[in-house]
Chain A
């Protein structure tokens, strides 16, 4: 199918290509991929000052290299699926344990913190009801504890320091990342130590401790197997808790054979582990100084907590006579009970274990002659703590869950999707720890699917923070060059309308019989794997208010009220959505028919254009605000009971994103809140307002369908069972469940234009999952997904039709009430 497109390009088509390409670029936001982000402005001082001893390669190179690694991608897919099962099962088991009669104590009685430190008041504030075992309840409790620590960090630090010193440890607050390295280097020099052991610590990676010490003749032996592998490869961890997840057994055998002096069989993984054990055992026993991180610092005892599965941290912290703990202030916790709460969330989120194999608590030197040094590192943490938007990110307990659910992470791994820290948290904290110029590339890979927010065990608003990072990146370094003209055009209703109509006029004659564009020169990387639709000759706006040029006219009557509905008589302003308007006008008509069948009085504000999401999502907030304000004014003027859109991402924009966009404009924020109250995506409207009775669109027959949960509908709006209820209960159709139904399809707003190869791979995962269902109809609720999925089905030659739920409802409406639609507009 695809080959025929390449061959078939008649002479007449050449004429329109140039102009069509320009029109398309404008209309679809498709442009040539950029080679690199606008270079950072050298005149500005970076907000964090890390001496980067072994700076990773430039982002564009990391991204390119990652894409060529097919084995890594396959491994990460297996990893994500295994993790998901294990994680979900372990939380479910714990949540159910109470019902199974397992009662636990209420934890230790709260211990009064040292008087006069102020911590006693704080402790009172964070006292929460110690009950509830669901993930959400545990998460909310730990988030509250962490917030109290973030808000009162100096107090908890002072308490911890006093206790740790009383226990015999030394506490050093480093002035900078370099100063922390210097402290450790001098300690080694003083003791004559040239070789030391280390257990996993992301902070050492963050400050570049390894290269610093190596330059001074001190070698570090990484003792976590994954960290050791990465060290042997002269590379960096690609995952917070699984550092070598990007490698396979051939890579590891290649690295471990020379390191252990044994010839290792790639297929004998246990043999590789055993060889590593034998070799590292000698290092454990010989080491005179051990470095570790900490998973928590318990203020009221002065103890540190450390978790591992291998047990390497026990050996690193026990055998040498000097133990150095390199740690950030955000690891402080008030009490041991809080540490227990963290344990219940940490291993389940990290690996699906109820608890790690080794949970170690060190409370000062355990024998005469032993020294213990805490080296505290700030490195941008204060700036984060003082930043209203980013302070929450300090709650992070480094479980890696945000990478484990991330679709782009699965494709490119943590070297591209991150900097030192990977996953969503890496996109957020890189700017603070390692400079904003290094955050610019990785953040641009985020598809805004919000999956990370659903599994974060401390409830960090990662998607909002990533958008803010993008916003600051654009403010500091500017938009990618090709996005400026696209957004400029998109933000002007008149220009956009002209461009869209031009694209339709040029595109229509070129359309393939299947309705898609033929392959265009230079567009191969965008079209080869996903056919692009031809803009409709008559956009939805012409069909719904063609004659009107202003005001809020009634929609043409496309359906009589046919259904028993809670929406009967309601005045509903219909918001079309750009893609629906220009590419899929039949989807708009189907939506209006469904709303009218529910008895709604549908009106269509003629001023409507784009909600501003593409600009918001691109980090261009000034343009997003202009577009959002026009949208708000237009929708307010409709004076409707409800604003309904079948563009679920627009509903998310209006009900959620606008709050972030207008956070600094109280007047507009008030209007946003009032508008959001009345704004519904189609599914929510049908299930909470219309509340169609079961069976009201059932006809007793109909093919089974499968359902793709648009990621934001699922993760932001919480629509999980609702669309299924509409299909199964209201329409009486069978659903064959789609594996990974709520995982992003790869459209990701402009990400599919910025990174077509990434988008192609995420789409492939989705299409393979659809294949497994064996059904011929895929239903979803977001026009962006639909454009992407239809294009993917066509380009890959799959005979699966992709419908908006509104279209499926409309089909059932016609099947259930054929007489109502026999004569066109006869009612």
Chain B
């Protein structure tokens, strides 16, 4: 079941141009981020971590520093200073929807800035958080927004499915309309042996 969900999720997300990789440790997450960051010149390089991510994976910062990356702190009052034109944002997802290849998150303003203002975006999703589809996501959302899950009620949540895009000019698809142009989802499967990645890359995917 879990494996089927993962296969389905990866296939759907890949079709939308999302790079999906599966890793077994936070160390590997950091390595992937470092790889991506290496392509950006050091003077404009910014790697920004979402607060929710740090809450979920407190050890990630250390791993990143071990890879030579010093995360840029978020200035919520003046976000333009935080995010240059080529920032890499890393955030955590609460759910993955196999039905649509979406990830879901209920988050705060700082997290949202990370996932919206960075040109490249890495999402860390625990494979245990994969669900079949919208029905489960709707149930989760209801509980999250009402606080029925025991945590304080959330005020803002999103399902995000592929990179930001527009087809408003002659139906021609362009990515990176306002949000990230590049979306990578890293499935974190700490319970399994890493097989070196179940990643499928497909930037050509158009619509479903």
Give the Cβ gap from B37 to chain A, nearest Cβ, in Å: 21
B156, A362: Cβ atoms under 8 Å? Answer: yes
A284, B145: Cβ atoms under 8 Å? Answer: no
Cβ 8 A contact of B166, one of A167, A309, A344: A309
A336/B142 contact (C-beta < 8 A), A104-B99, A362-B155 known: yes
B170, A75: Cβ atoms under 8 Å? Answer: yes
A310, B139: Cβ atoms under 8 Å? Answer: no
| A459 close to B (CB within 8 Å) | no
Chain A: CB-nearest residue to B154? A363
The interface centre, meaning the residue of B143, B159, B163, B172 with most chain A CB atoms within 10 A of its CB, is B159
A104/B133 contact (C-beta < 8 A), A277-B178, A310-B164 known: yes
A105/B139 contact (C-beta < 8 A), A361-B158, A366-B156 known: yes
| A542 close to B (CB within 8 Å) | no
A367/B102 contact (C-beta < 8 A), A102-B8, A343-B134 known: no
A366 contacts across to B, CB distance below 8 A: 108-109, 155-156
A224/B168 contact (C-beta < 8 A), A107-B139, A362-B155, A364-B155 known: yes
| B190 close to A (CB within 8 Å) | no
Chain A: CB-nearest residue to B141? A336
Cβ 8 A contact of B158, one of A103, A105, A301, A360: A360
B156, A284: Cβ atoms under 8 Å? Answer: no
| A5 close to B (CB within 8 Å) | no
Give the Cβ gap from A471 to chain B, nearest Cβ, in Å: 36
Chain B: CB-nearest residue to A335? B142
Interface size class of B (residues with CB under 8 A): 35 or more
| B177 close to A (CB within 8 Å) | yes
| B54 close to A (CB within 8 Å) | no
Give the Cβ gap from B149 to chain A, nearest Cβ, in Å: 12
| A303 close to B (CB within 8 Å) | yes
B168 contacts across to A, CB distance below 8 A: 224-226, 229, 242-244
The interface centre, meaning the residue of A75, A101, A111, A336 with most chain B CB atoms within 10 A of its CB, is A336
A93/B208 contact (C-beta < 8 A), A223-B178, A285-B80, A366-B155 known: yes
Contact with B along A226-248 (1 / 0, CB 8 A): 10010000000000001111011
A126 contacts across to B, CB distance below 8 A: none
| A533 close to B (CB within 8 Å) | no
| A606 close to B (CB within 8 Å) | no
A353, B207: Cβ atoms under 8 Å? Answer: yes
| B157 close to A (CB within 8 Å) | yes
A339/B179 contact (C-beta < 8 A), A273-B166, A352-B207 known: no
Chain A: CB-nearest residue to B162? A357
A337/B179 contact (C-beta < 8 A), A273-B174, A366-B155 known: no
B155, A269: Cβ atoms under 8 Å? Answer: no
Q: Which of B121-142 contact A (CB under 8 A)?
A: 131-139, 141-142
A104, B169: Cβ atoms under 8 Å? Answer: no
Assembled-state Cα–Cα distance A360/B142 (Å)? 13
B98 contacts across to A, CB distance below 8 A: 102
A314/B116 contact (C-beta < 8 A), A301-B145, A361-B157 known: yes
Contact with B along A645-670 (1 / 0, CB 8 A): 00000000000000000000000000
| B153 close to A (CB within 8 Å) | yes
The interface centre, meaning the residue of B100, B136, B172 with most chain A CB atoms within 10 A of its CB, is B100
| B203 close to A (CB within 8 Å) | no
A351, B179: Cβ atoms under 8 Å? Answer: no
B109, A367: Cβ atoms under 8 Å? Answer: yes
Which one of A46-54, A78-86, A206-214, A693-701 is at the interface?
A78-86
Chain B: CB-nearest residue to A364? B155
| A221 close to B (CB within 8 Å) | no
Cβ 8 A contact of A311, one of B131, B164, B208: B164
| B28 close to A (CB within 8 Å) | no
Contact with A along B167-189 (1 / 0, CB 8 A): 11111101011110000000000
The interface centre, meaning the residue of A272, A311, A364 with most chain B CB atoms within 10 A of its CB, is A311
Assembled-state Cα–Cα distance A318/B117 (Å)? 12
A225/B108 contact (C-beta < 8 A), A111-B142, A311-B116, A358-B158 known: no
A356, B161: Cβ atoms under 8 Å? Answer: yes
| A4 close to B (CB within 8 Å) | no
Assembled-state Cα–Cα distance A363/B136 (Å)? 19
Assembled-state Cα–Cα distance A229/B139 (Å)? 38
A360 contacts across to B, CB distance below 8 A: 156-158
B102 contacts across to A, CB distance below 8 A: 355, 359
Assembled-state Cα–Cα distance A347/B108 (Å)? 26
Cβ 8 A contact of A78, one of B135, B137, B171: B171
Assembled-state Cα–Cα distance A665/B172 (Å)? 52
Chain A: CB-nearest residue to B85? A278
A252/B138 contact (C-beta < 8 A), A86-B207, A90-B208, A360-B158 known: no
B68 contacts across to A, CB distance below 8 A: none
Assembled-state Cα–Cα distance A365/B108 (Å)? 10
B174 contacts across to A, CB distance below 8 A: 269-270, 273-274
A318 contacts across to B, CB distance below 8 A: 109, 112-113, 116, 156
Q: Which of A163-210 contact B (CB under 8 A)?
A: 167-168
| A354 close to B (CB within 8 Å) | yes
B157, A273: Cβ atoms under 8 Å? Answer: no
Give the Cβ gap from B110 to chain A, nearest Cβ, in Å: 10
Chain A: CB-nearest residue to B208? A354
Give the Cβ gap from A259 to chain B, nearest Cβ, in Å: 14
Assembled-state Cα–Cα distance A244/B167 (Å)? 10
Q: Which of B2-17 contact A (CB under 8 A)?
A: 4, 8, 12
A277 contacts across to B, CB distance below 8 A: 176-178
| B79 close to A (CB within 8 Å) | yes
Contact with B along A267-299 (1 / 0, CB 8 A): 001101110111011101100000000000000
Assembled-state Cα–Cα distance A353/B133 (Å)? 15
A242 contacts across to B, CB distance below 8 A: 167-168, 171
Chosen A-B contacts, 9 in total, with CB atoms closer than 8 Å, are A102-B133, A109-B139, A245-B171, A309-B177, A314-B112, A318-B112, A343-B134, A359-B161, A366-B155
Query: Which 5 pairs across A and B sit closest by C-beta, in order of nearness?
Result: A311-B179, A108-B139, A310-B177, A226-B168, A366-B155
> Which B residues have a C-beta under 8 Å from some C-beta of A?
4, 8, 12, 79-80, 85, 98-102, 108-109, 112-113, 116-117, 131-139, 141-143, 145-146, 153-172, 174, 176-179, 207-208
> Which A residues have a C-beta under 8 Å from some C-beta of B?
75, 78-79, 82, 86, 89-90, 93, 97, 101-109, 111, 130, 167-168, 223-226, 229, 242-245, 247-249, 252, 269-270, 272-274, 276-278, 280-282, 284-285, 300-301, 303, 309-312, 314-315, 317-319, 335-337, 339-340, 343-344, 348, 351-367
